[in-house]
A and B are shown apart, each in its own frame.
Chain A
Amino acid sequence: MTVVDRSVSQAEALVDADEARDARRKRIEGVGRWLMPVVVLGLAIWGWDRVVVWNAIPHYILPGPGRVLETLIKDWPILFDALLVTLQITFMALAVAVIGGVGLAVLFTQSRWAEMSFYPFAVILQVTPVVSVAPLIFIYVENRTIGLLLCAWIVAFFPILANTTLGLNSADSNLRDLMRIYGAGRWKTLRYLQLPSALPYFLSGLRIAGGLSLIGAIVAEYVAGTGGIGSGLAFRILEAGYRLNIPRMFAALILIAVSGVVIFAGLSILSHLSLRKWHESAVKRE
């Protein structure tokens, strides 16, 4: 009896050791997940600083990180206003891209004729580089904000359109049959089957479109070029470039990069929250 007991307790001890090792590995991985990027980023900034200091590079060629940070703080009122302008265009473009992309996708799946007629236009808009179209847009469109919006929208709407169309067409065929058996018309099928099926695809398109609308807004500002009050970050970069204010260029660049990351992270969280209950991509595995 005692022998059996001991063997059992030994087995338990073995499992415990295994599990403890597993738990330790998971904990280390959990810390590493955020520690590693921070350390590497810190090292990169330190390396940048050393290169500037050791080679005595003048700030009008390559400013060190300290000087860029200084400029960021010093020029904050100018840069922040510019950031708000750029973000405003970005989010408006994203909103219009969502409305236009989803709207067109629904139209395309409801009507083969609409798809056949208009899909080529969507592709043409997508494949033509926005830099080459933008000058024309600013010739024909009086209002500068609407011109910017149009440029950013052209870049951003296609991933939403393409992904949502794919999603709407990916609804399970047996569920489609079921809808028919229960006498659901096309709108009920759209609402109860196709739109939920398309949600993961749409969200994936949205994440791409978020980054693209920022790019579209920046590119459009470069092309629009006119400055003064109410100009965005891209114009501030151009302006600083003319004046050889390299630190401000870097500061503006950092703001753009951070905005892009925040937009991507925000949309990723949104995607996760909407799908975590049921979709394979977001479900936590044991």
Chain B
Amino acid sequence: MSTHRPILPMGQRARLLEVQGVDKTFNGGVVALRRMTLTVNEGDFISLLGPSGCGKSTALRLIAGLTRPTSGRILWAGGQGVGDLGVVFQEPTLMPWATVAQNVWLPFRLRGQSFSSVKAQVTEALELVGLGSFLDAYPRELSGGMKMRVSIARALVTNPRLILMDEPFAALDEITRQKLNNDLLRLRDQIGCTVIFVTHSVFESVFLSDRVIVMAARPGRVIRELAVDAPYPRDLAFRTSAQYAAHCTVASEALADAMGEAA
């Protein structure tokens, strides 16, 4: 957990995962994803941005191994090991009968590791998301934002090579959302994780990521990739900068194109 992976500049990052020409057709013949190709490098913060029905969640489920591609391949550099993947869903998805600490312990517990043997990691993960004093609380006692933090702590407790986030902050209010966006970038800076983040918010995707993948619907496909070359750490100054506004404009135009093509 405490291992810190340095984030190299773009172009020098080692390859982590490759999505090679992946198609996904559902039983009814609906094409959810067509010819998706994406290379994920270590340290990337990738946003999948697009309207609903563009296959961004399907792409995430494919990478998570929850569903199989109809054709094409998804390859992990060096193979996928246990604990290589952390996932945060749109809902916090916590077990209501278990305490915060027990929820974060789950990935280890399923591997047969006792709580005492990983207590340090669990505590550290919760401290990273600012919930170090809520170990024994039950999820129902927490606010929506705090539940999401627990969910994030659970995703990063195994120190995964890749964290997938499926619109994690979509259900939260704007203030909480901005706070969590800032905290997410701080976390990334601290532990050097690789993230694929699904969102339908242009502003969120530009603020968080260094690569924005714009997707279009019917059929779901990648139409553009934008690089956001602003340096990290990013803060309020970046949020209000001309550079940020310019990136948002480009992303919005790409998204408008995506909508136009679909319509």
Residues of A whose CB lies within 8 Å of any CB of B are 172, 174-175, 177-184, 188, 192-193, 196, 199, 277-280, 283
| B62: min CB distance to chain A, Å | 12
Cβ of A180: which chain B residues have Cβ within 8 Å of it? 65-66
Known contacts A174-B89, A277-B97: does B64 contact A192 (CB below 8 Å)? no
Given contact pairs A177-B64, A278-B96, a sample of 20 additional A-B residue pairs in the complex whose CB atoms are under 8 Å apart: A172-B93, A174-B89, A177-B66, A177-B87, A177-B89, A178-B89, A178-B93, A178-B106, A180-B65, A180-B66, A181-B65, A182-B111, A183-B111, A192-B95, A199-B97, A278-B97, A278-B138, A278-B139, A279-B96, A283-B140
What is the interface of chain B mostly: helix, strand, loop, or mixed? loop
Q: Are B97 and A181 in contact (CB under 8 A)?
A: no
Contacts of A278 in B (CB 8 A): 96-97, 138-140
Q: Which residues of B contact A192 (CB under 8 A)?
A: 95, 106, 109-110
- Residues of B in contact, count (CB < 8 Å): 21
CB distance from A195 to the nearest CB of B (A): 10
B124 near A: Cβ within 8 Å? no
C-alpha spacing A177/B89, complex, angstroms = 10
The residues of B that contact A175 with a CB separation of less than 8 Å are 93, 95
Secondary structure type dominating chain A contacts? helix
Q: Which of chain A's residues have a CB closer than 8 A to the CB of B85?
A: 181
Contact present for B138 and A277 (CB under 8 Å): yes
Whether B82 sits at the interface, judged by CB under 8 Å, is yes
Which residues of A are found within 8 Å of B111, using beta-carbon distances?
182-183
Which chain A residues lie closer than 8 Å to B98 at the CB level? Answer: 196
Partner pick for B110 among A188, A199, A283, CB 8 A cutoff: A188
CB of B107 within 8 Å of the partner chain: yes
Q: How far is the CA of A192 from the CA of B82 in the complex (A)?
A: 18
Residues of A within 8 A of B110 (CB): 179, 182-184, 188, 192
- Nearest-CB residue, chain A, relative to B65: A181
A196-B66 in contact (CB<8A):
no
The reply to whether B95 and A174 contact each other, CB–CB distance below 8 Å, is no
Residue in B closest to A283 when the chains form the complex, CB atoms: B140
- Asked whether, in the complex, the Cβ of B87 is within 8 Å of the Cβ of A178, the reply is yes
A280 surroundings in chain B (CB, below 8 A): 140
Residues in A with CB closer than 8 Å to B97 are 196, 199, 277-279
User: Contacts of B107 on A, CB cut-off 8 Å?
Assistant: 182
Does the CB pair B140–A181 fall under 8 Å?
A: no
In the bound complex, what is the Cα–Cα distance between A193 and B109 (angstroms)? 12
Residue of B nearest to A200 (CB): B97
Interface string of B72-102 (1 = CB under 8 A from A): 0000000000100101010101011110000
